[in-house]
Amino acid sequence: MIQQFINLRQNNIFRWFNLTLSSLLILSLTACSRPTQVLAQDRMFLDLTVEFIDEYQIPKTKFAQTPVGGLSAITYDRNTGNFYILSDDRSQNAPARFYTFALKIQPEGFQAVEIQDVTFLKNANNESFPPGSLDPEGLALSPRNTLFLSSEGIPSQEINPFIAEFDLETGQQVKNLRIPQRYLLNTPEEQENVPRGVQENLGFEALTLGIVSVAPQDPFRLFVAPEGALIQEQDAENRLRLLHYLINPIGPPVLLSENLYLLDSAPEGTISNGLTELIALDREGFLLSLERTFGLAGAGAKLFQIATGDATDTLQYPLLNGDISDIKPLRKKLLLDLRDLGIPLDNLEGMTLGPRLPDGSSTLLLISDDNFSDNQVTQLLLFKLIEN
């Protein structure tokens, strides 16, 4: 009897020991391995952080007898360290042009900002663009030593938008990209049809290149979008179309797809609300976008991350009015509302990735268009872009 009691007690102790050990092991594993809860939509985006570093205002000045203003786009040359900055002058204050800037950037901010050169744009016949014949807005540097440039067009003057490639050294236009008819004005034969094309001052404002390789002979991608909805879709004013081209070393550029981009709703009292810039990140399938507002409360801007992965190709959709529940738009995630910086904002229109900082993070630069107005400034904003 005593031996049975001893055996029973030993068995109970053994079972208690195993149960306790298993519980402790489960608790330990749970504490060590339980993942942080991540929303499904967040897993579709890169883990990016944007930190504000500095602001610099370019003084009102002239360079080579041209007024330095209307700076609406900026792009960075990793090979030379130069920045190319486009003026949206319609060849009215001086011939259409872009400037070469040297920006000395340190981790604590701008150390020097210097204009080094100006290059005048020429058409395919190597002639200056006549006054009022274009509205240059978007700019991006390609790996083959050229610039891709977009013009909003001027519908009130029956001038269509364009997307073209220009020689970096001479400024001469060397190639045009074919644009779908929906972005262009009606032809004389179509006057009875519903008006179409980009709206006045809301044409191709945002343009960027996605570089697959730095070799000049390799293909790369171009993304471009109007600032606002098309004339025929302006009832759905927050619905924009983003075009995606493949630029080949041989043969014409190929339009791969078009996607729906949804603008954020504008705050009350807004006069102007639009998409002003895009930046293709080094990770394929991801972009940054800049949305700018202006109204009674002044200027505002928001920076978003865009994921292109599962967006519907809208090339076969003649109109984006009405029910679009069957269309998946480009996914976007707010990275920064620039009003939270606590500094006065101007008309921010240009954006580029700049040189890397000593810690390996990228710099991000934004620039504002002063519209050649004495009441506005040309504002350079510097950020650190960190992929966590």
Mean pLDDT value across residues 61-81: 97
For 156, what's the count of Cα atoms within 13 Å in the CB-facing half-sphere?
5
Letter for the amino acid at 176? Answer: N
- Segment 265-293 shows an average pLDDT of 94
Residue 218 has pLDDT above 90, yes or no: no
CB distance 182 to 161 below 8 Å: no
**205 vs 99: CA distance, rounded Å:** 18
Kindly state the average pLDDT of the residues 4-22: 40
User: Residue 22: what pLDDT?
Assistant: 41
**Does the pLDDT at position 15 exceed 50?**
no
Task: Of 24-28, 124-128, 213-217, 338-342, give the lowest mean pLDDT range.
Answer: 24-28
Q: What is the mean pLDDT of residues 364-383?
A: 97
pLDDT for res 18: 44
With H, G, I as helix, E, B as strand and everything else as coil, classify residue 150: strand
Alpha carbon distance 96, 70 (integer Å): 11
What pLDDT shows up at residue 27? 34
Cα 337 to chain center, whole Å? 15
Q: Which residue has the higher pLDDT, 28 or 184?
A: 184
Give the pLDDT score at 187.
87
What size, in residues, is the chain?
Answer: 388
**Inter-residue long-range contacts of 284-288, CB under 8 Å, 24+ positions, other chains counted:** 284/210, 284/212, 285/309, 286/45, 286/46, 287/208, 287/223, 288/335, 288/351, 288/364
pLDDT for residue 36: 45
Give the pTM: 0.88
pLDDT class of 211 with cuts at 50, 70, 90: confident
67 with 55: CB under 8 angstroms? Answer: no
pLDDT at 189: 80
Indicate whether 99 pLDDT > 70.
Answer: yes
Query: Mean of the pLDDT values across residues 54-58?
Result: 98
Residue 51 has what pLDDT?
98
- pLDDT value of position 8: 38
Residue type, 384: K
Task: Map out the domains of the chain with their CATH numbers.
Answer: 53-387 (2.115.10)
Average pLDDT of the chain to the nearest whole number: 89
**Integer Cα distance of 192 and 198 in angstroms:** 18
Average pLDDT in the 29-43 region? 47
Better pLDDT: 30 or 123: 123
pLDDT of 192 > 80? The answer is: no
Whether the predicted pLDDT of 37 surpasses 80? no
On whether the CB atoms of residues 59 and 114 are closer than 8 A, the answer is: no
Tens-place pLDDT, residues 135-185: 999 999 999 999 999 999 999 999 999 999 999 999 999 999 999 999 999
Give the residue among 230, 163, 164, 205 at the shortest CA–CA distance from 349: 205
User: Rounded to an integer, what distance in angstroms lies between the CA atom of residue 335 and that of residue 370?
Assistant: 25
Phi and psi of 78, rounded to 5°? -65, -25
| pLDDT, mean of residues 69-97 | 97
Q: Residue 324: its pLDDT value, please?
A: 95
Q: Which residue has the tokens 């644009």?
A: 179
Confidence of residue 188 (pLDDT cuts 50, 70, 90): confident
Q: Kindly state the percentage of the chain with pLDDT values over 90.
A: 80
- Give pLDDT tens digits for 232-262: 999 998 999 999 999 998 889 999 999 999 9
Q: What are phi and psi of 55, to 5 degrees?
A: -130, 145
